[in-house]
Amino acid sequence: MCRTVDLHQAVLAKNDTNAVELRRTLDDRGTTAVNLMSSPGSGKTALLEALLTRAVAGGTPAAAVTADLATENDATRLARSGAPVQQILTDGLCHLEAGMLRGKLEGWLPGGTRLLFVENVGNLVCPASYDLGETLRIALASVTEGEDKPVKYPAAFGLAHLVVITKTDLADAVEFRRDDFLSGVQQVNPGVPVIETSARTGEGVDALLAHVLRAADGRETHTPVLARQHEKHLHHHDTPSAEHSHAPAGTPR
Amino acid sequence: MHELSIALAVVDQVDTALRERGAERVPVRSLTLRVGELSGVVPEALDFSFGVAAEGTALADARLLIETVEGRARCEGCGRDTATGMPPDLWCGACEQAMSLTGGRELEIARVVLEDLEIRQGDDVPEASHVPHR
Ligand SMILES: Nc1nc2c(ncn2[C@@H]2O[C@H](COP(=O)(O)OP(=O)(O)OP(=O)(O)O)[C@@H](O)[C@H]2O)c(=O)[nH]1
Ligand SMILES: [Mg+2]
Ligand SMILES: [Zn+2]
Ligand SMILES: [Zn+2]
Ligand SMILES: [Zn+2]
């Protein structure tokens, strides 16, 4: 006779717990974390450099952590904004986990930091599964990547609080079909706000910073349909997470 | 690779759970995971990675059983209850409103079945219980 042990545990329970703790710690310090994810080369670093520069110029204490498989190039670029920046080298790991981020922040994150931007590893698959304790999760796609990115990577775009289109200065050159992109976004994440940006021309950078600041001020963010599953429980109950909600269905804006 | 991280998390959690129950030396016969269609995890890739992650642990000879869970959504407007498909369509065109997700995001360890030690005492690991992973 065999022994059956019922576990009924979320596979990512450890990360979820770390993320919940990190979110609380950041909250106590008055820091709001923003998690940016996209394919490699979508323009995360370029946009973040523009955002940090605006934030610093506007007197908002902002900092950034950027994660890559290798090289400190992105940190060097971001540091040009004047904001404090740290690089995480993931040593081959294709995503960030909450524990790795916490380790980097300990002893470094300057007191009084209002916005903490986290540039995830360029990858649209696994970063989607790992909560980093962020208040705002942004999925980005550039106009050069094709209109079907959101439906090809439904977890990344479906769990985002905000979708950002990048490199709009190239939209005409590549004949970007904006309506197709937006309908894909609507299909996997109904009601999610979309902001169009170009790090080259500066389009949308102020709107994006304003959106982030509203979230930091405690304004309620969009709740993705994918992030609230009803009736069945995703997580075990000792690790409440942002994705575990018993609230009745709301209508996203 | 994504699924390898997931497989390592699974092995680590089962290991901890067995330790808590004082059963860390008992070989695991089978392990059942529930994987939702919308969890972002590919069962085939997970099966492959599990073989690597389980090596040298109590799970080394365990058979991995994966129960897939269909993505499902319901419209509060018209009451329509439907499979979301993949990629999911979470918008009710008839009511012009977002649907509610009722299934498909699961990514959990359901249960493990342990070998019966009494029978196995003094035995070598039985060849028959080994399911090779592709
Ligand atoms: N035309 C144009 N090019 C851009 C824009 N933003 C970024 N780029 C270019 O796109 C390339 C990739 O930009 P990055 O900012 O490094 O992209 P990333 O997402 O940080 O890349 P990884 O960190 O490697 O994933 C660079 O050559 C940038 O100069 C933009 O708004 N317009
Ligand atoms: Mg970058
Ligand atoms: Zn990964
Ligand atoms: Zn619950
Ligand atoms: Zn309806």
Kindly report, residue by residue over B79-132, the tens digit of the pLDDT. 999 999 999 999 999 999 999 999 999 999 999 999 987 644 444 444 444 444
User: For residue B112, which of B11, B41, B38, B42 has the smallest C-alpha distance?
Assistant: B11
Partners of A91 on chain B (C-beta within 8 Å) are none
Ligand 1 atom nearest to A40, measured from its CA = 25
Is residue A244 within 8 A of residue A234, CB to CB? The reply is yes
* Model pLDDT for residues A185-215, shown as the tens digit of each residue: 999 999 999 999 999 999 999 999 999 999 9
Distance CA B82, CA B89 (A): 10
How many other C-beta atoms can be found within 10 angstroms of the C-beta atom of residue B18? 21
Sorted by sequence, the CB contacts under 8 Å of residue A175 that are 6+ apart come out as none
Is residue A225 within 8 A of residue B99, CB to CB? The reply is yes
Extents of the domains making up chain B: 2-71+104-120
* Model pLDDT for residues A12-37, shown as the tens digit of each residue: 999 999 999 999 999 999 999 999 99
Distance CA B49, CA A186 (A): 33
Residue type, A151: V
Query: Domains along chain A?
Result: 14-234 (3.40.50.300)
User: For residue B66, which of B35, B42, B39, B89 has the smallest C-alpha distance?
Assistant: B35
- Whole-structure pTM value: 0.89
What are the start-end ranges of the H helices in chain B?
Answer: 2-20, 43-54, 117-120
**Record: contact A1-B108, CB cut-off 8 A:** no
Instruction: Identify the burial level of A8 via C-beta atoms within 10 angstroms of its C-beta, where 0-12 means exposed, 13-18 middle and 19 or more buried.
Output: exposed
User: For residue B18, which of B119, B120, B122, B109 has the smallest C-alpha distance?
Assistant: B109
Report the CATH number of the B2-71+104-120 domain.
3.30.2320.50
**Record: contact A228-B21, CB cut-off 8 A:** no
The ipTM is 0.83
Partners of B76 on chain A (C-beta within 8 Å) are 249
Q: Which residues form ligand 1's pocket by a CB distance below 6 Å?
A: A 38, 40-46, 74, 122, 166-167, 169-170, 198-200
Query: Is the torsion defined by CA of B16, B21, B23, B28 positive or negative?
Result: negative
Distance CA B30, CA B15 (A): 13
- pLDDT grade, residue B134 (50/70/90)? very low
**Record: contact A11-B9, CB cut-off 8 A:** yes
Instruction: Give me the residue from A5, A94, A155 closest to B114, CB to CB.
Output: A5
Residue A184 has pLDDT above 70, yes or no: yes
